[in-house]
Each structure stands twice: as C-alpha cells, then as structure tokens.
C-alpha cells in the first residue's frame, strides 16, 4: 500500500465494500467516491455523512483515516427518521450527535497507517480458530489510575506492556471531539496480521486520562521474552561493562539474564551492544569514509600505496602500504607470511596481514588490508594489489590451509 493512499471498509445498509482513498480528498470528494462505489447519486452527497464506526467521529478529511478503518455511510434523512421514531436505540445513540471532530497526528502518517491499522474481519471460521487461542492480559492495574497527559500515559503503557510481555502500537492518532473530549485508543501490535482484539481506550475532557473501555483478550500466544523496554539504566550499564571483556553476544545475554532474572533474546542484547558501540565510536559507514580519506591522504603525503573498493556507498575492500612498507617488501620479499584474522575490527571485516623477515630475523609488516569476505575473488583483488608494488616474485609464501587464500597465491607467479 503506497503512502499516498489509504483503504477503509465502508458499510451501508448491511452491505460492506473496500474503498481506497487518496489522502488529499476533502469531505465532498470522500462522500462522492463512496456514493459512486455504492451506485448512489453523487450529486446528493450533502444528504449523507461518513462516520468512523464505533467512535462517533464524522470524517471530513481523507488524511485523517487510519489504514483499514471501518466506516459507516448514513443517509441524513434516514438517520433523522430513525431517531424520531426511536426504532433503533443503538443507532440513535451512535449517530444522533452528528458532531464535527478535529484530529491530531503525532508522527509520520505512513508509519501510523502501518502501526495503528485495523484488519478487516475474515469469515466466522477464522474467528472461531482465533478464539481457541485466547489469552487474557490482566489490566486491573489500569482501571483505577489516571494520567495527567498523553505522554505520561504512553510512558506508563510502555512499562505495562513490557511487564506483561505484550507489544502495543503507541503511535496511533489521538482524536478530539468538538466538545473537547480526547480519545486515545491503543491496540495490540498483532492486530493487523492476527486480527487480535486487545485494545485500550482512554478519554479525557478537561482533566486526567482514564481508561474508558477495553478488550483484554489476545487471539495469539504471548511472547515469552523480555523486549527492549525492559532494558533499565542498570542493565544497560552492565552490558556496557561486560561487552569490554567479551564479544560473544550469546555469553553476554546469558550473563545479563542470570544477573537480573530476565529472559532477553540474544538479538535484543546484541542490538544494545551495537548501539553502545556506535555511541562510543560513531556509525561504521562514517568511520569507513573517514578511514578512506585518512589512508588516501597518508599514501599521497608519504608516497605510499592505497587502494579501495566501494560498492553502493559501502566499504568492501581496502589495502594500504606506507613507503617504508613498500621498501621492506622489496628488500625482504624472499619469504612472506600471509594470515587473516576473522572480523575482530571496528568494521566487522576480515583483516589480512602480510609480513616479511628482515635481515635481523624479525618479522616486519609490509601490507595491511580489509576484505568484505574470505572468498577467492576477494583474495585475488587483495593479492594483485600487493603484487603491483613488488619488483620481484616472492620465493616462499607461508599461509594457513585456507583454500581460497592458497589458490590466490598463484597470482604471484609472473608469466
């Protein structure tokens, strides 16, 4: 679904149709589009109104819709007649107000459409299937509480959802009635895909937010793991301390779970490790760009050698030799030792290190490179870059038994 459109299910006299609206439509255009869909006279649009079903909201702009909203098309004449005869109390209660409403959008609309969407109901068989998996979340703690503003409410709900291992879509739109009543409805994040019916509706007019209506039933299993909202400052500080002594996210996750009696998944702790690393060292892509500039400058200034391979703005391969490294590799290239370390650097890339043995019998680094992987084509790129700076072919090369590296060494042989 593109961000310029939103769909809704519209009901009229017992018939339901799915309608897609452009976000720039006004009330007249909305009604005419719906009337045309139901084969009604679009010239009589003023005799109808389009209401958000269940929340008594008159729709006046398409951009106020949430993806998969349920709408009700009503004829004003029919509504008035029913209200006068009192034949349908529920209809009169829901529709007799006929008020205009203003709306508040808090975040990017396209994101809200995704997170606050309502999925159109499937067949009765599907509903029965979901009912077999009903899970109840205890919301008694919410019933007698009050919150001074929406931010305070959302902060409390974050902790509530984390403690109960559920996820709520907290970025839904807040709707404001003409009389000043604010309505905030928060749904289970699995509402769209699983048609979960769990919801919490809070209202306020001129004071505190209070829980008005709710549904405490889920039609899916509750996640057994703790989420990001359960990461407290104490846990974050402990992750920061422990990550200095281990790069193993599995071991770190177990240590945190044991110490704080939590049940985090490995990926949750891994995400925090990477986040802390970026705060300390910066974003890897930015660092890679800075590394490119630094080595390029050093190579030009010191008459060294530098080569880089970037793809789609990302560092793939790079290598560097200072002027002294070039001299050492040509003086003492009879015996070379080539080795790689596996992703122990900032960029999570394998490092290749080539050393020679000088006249004092000591090893001297003569080439350094970062590689996107340890495949044959990558080793060819790296070793050909190194060979371009040699004046003679090495007599002996020591490597480990990595097949891709040993195959790459053949490119040192000149024809």
pLDDT at 342 (0 to 100): 65
Contact predicate 277/252, CB 8 Å: no
Angle value at C-alpha 228, between 225 and 231, nearest 5 degrees: 100
CA-based nearest residue to 185, from 116, 282, 233: 116
Cα–Cα distance, 346 to 233 (Å, whole number): 25
What length is written for the chain? 415
pLDDT in the model for residue 266 = 87
313 or 113: which leads in pLDDT: 313
pLDDT at position 126, please?
Answer: 44
Strand 182-188 with 135-136, pairing: unpaired
Please, what is the average pLDDT of the chain?
Answer: 78
Question: What φ, ψ does residue 75 adopt, rounded to 5°?
Answer: -80, 130
- Judge whether residue 312 has pLDDT over 50: yes
Cα three-residue angle 11-29-100, rounded to 5 degrees: 70
49-86 burial, b at 16+ Cβ within 10 Å, e below that, comes to bbbbbeebbbbbbbebbbbbbbbbbbbeeebeebbeee
The 10s digit of each residue's pLDDT in 244-275 is 777 678 888 999 899 898 888 888 888 888 88
Q: Is the pLDDT of residue 403 over 60?
A: yes
Beta strands in 107-178 (DSSP E): 135-136, 168-169, 174-177
1, pLDDT greater than 80: no
Residue 97 has pLDDT above 50, yes or no: no
Instruction: State the pLDDT at residue 140.
Output: 92
- Structure confidence at residue 196 (pLDDT): 86
For residue 121, what pLDDT band results from cuts at 50, 70 and 90?
Answer: very low
Q: Averaged over 21-49, what is the pLDDT?
A: 87
Return the CATH number of 5-99, one of 3.40.50.880, 3.50.40.10, 3.10.20.90, 2.120.10.30. Answer: 3.10.20.90
Band (pLDDT 50/70/90 cuts) for residue 209 is very high
φ/ψ of 307, rounded to 5, equals -140, 140
User: Which of 24-38, 61-75, 363-377 comes out lowest in average pLDDT?
Assistant: 61-75
386: Cβ contacts below 8 Å, ≥ 6 apart: 319, 321, 329, 354, 367, 369
3-state secondary structure of 213: strand
Q: Is the dihedral of CA 320, 326, 329, 332 positive or negative?
A: negative
Question: Pick the residue with more confidence: 316 or 87?
Answer: 316
As a whole number, mean pLDDT of residues 73-95 equals 53
Q: What is the pLDDT of residues 349-393, one digit of tens each?
A: 888 999 999 888 899 999 999 888 888 888 889 989 998 999 888
Least confident of 30-39, 115-124, 397-406: 115-124
Residue 19 has pLDDT above 80, yes or no: yes
Quick one: what percent of the chain has pLDDT higher than 90? 14
Rounded Cα distance between 356 and 321, Å, is 13
Neighbouring C-beta atoms of residue 14, cutoff 10 Å: 5
Average pLDDT on 99-116 reads 39
* Angstrom distance (rounded) from CA 128 to CA 216: 17
Predicted confidence (pLDDT) at residue 227 exceeds the cutoff of 50: yes
* 43 close to 30: Cβ distance less than 8 angstroms: no
pLDDT one-digit tens code per residue, 37-52:
888 888 888 888 888 7
Q: Are strands 351-357 and 15-22 parallel, antiparallel or unpaired?
A: unpaired
Q: What pLDDT is recorded for position 21?
A: 86
> Given this model, what pLDDT does residue 279 score?
78
In this predicted structure, the answer to whether residue 123 has a pLDDT above a threshold of 50 is no
Is the pLDDT assigned to residue 147 strictly greater than 90?
Answer: yes
């Amino acid at each position: 679904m593109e961000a310029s459109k939103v769909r809704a299910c519209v009901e009229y006299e017992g018939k339901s149709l799915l309608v897609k609206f452009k976000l720039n439509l006004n009330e007249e255009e909305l009604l005419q589009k719906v009337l045309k869909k139901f084969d009604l006279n679009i010239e009589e649009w003023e005799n109808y109104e389009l209401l958000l079903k269940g929340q008594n909201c008159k729709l006046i702009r398409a951009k106020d819709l949430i993806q998969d909203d349920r709408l009700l098309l009503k004829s004003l004449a029919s509504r008035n007649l029913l209200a006068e005869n009192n034949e349908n109390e529920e209809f009169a209660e829901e529709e007799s107000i006929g008020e205009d409403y203003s709306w508040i959008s808090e975040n990017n609309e396209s994101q809200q459409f995704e997170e606050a969407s309502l999925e159109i109901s499937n067949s009765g068989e599907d509903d029965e299937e979901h009912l077999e998996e009903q899970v109840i979340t205890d919301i008694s703690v919410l019933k007698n509480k009050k919150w001074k503003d929406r931010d305070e409410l959302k902060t409390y709900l974050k902790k509530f959802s984390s403690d109960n291992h559920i996820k709520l879509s907290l970025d839904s739109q807040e709707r404001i009635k003409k009389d000043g009543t604010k309505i905030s409805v928060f749904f289970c994040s699995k509402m769209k895909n699983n048609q979960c019916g769990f919801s919490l509706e809070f209202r306020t007019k001129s004071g505190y937010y209070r829980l008005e209506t709710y549904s405490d039933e889920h039609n899916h299993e509750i996640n057994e793991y703790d989420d990001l909202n359960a990461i407290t400052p104490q846990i974050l500080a402990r992750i920061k301390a422990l990550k200095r002594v281990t790069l193993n996210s599995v071991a770190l996750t177990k240590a945190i779970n044991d110490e704080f009696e939590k049940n985090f998944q490995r990926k949750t702790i891994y995400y925090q490790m990477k986040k802390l690393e970026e705060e300390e060292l910066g974003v890897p892509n930015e660092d890679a760009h800075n590394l490119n500039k630094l080595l390029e400058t050093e190579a030009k200034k010191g008459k060294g050698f530098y080569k880089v391979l970037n793809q789609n703005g990302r560092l793939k391969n790079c290598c560097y030799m200072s002027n002294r490294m070039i001299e050492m590799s040509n003086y003492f290239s009879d015996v070379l030792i080539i080795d790689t370390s596996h992703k122990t650097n900032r960029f999570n890339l394998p490092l290749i290190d080539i050393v020679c043995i000088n006249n004092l019998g000591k090893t001297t680094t003569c080439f350094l490179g970062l590689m996107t992987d340890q495949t044959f084509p990558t080793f060819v790129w790296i070793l050909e870059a190194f060979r371009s700076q040699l004046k003679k072919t090495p007599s002996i090369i020591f490597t480990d038994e990595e097949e891709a590296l040993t195959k790459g060494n053949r490119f040192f042989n000149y024809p």
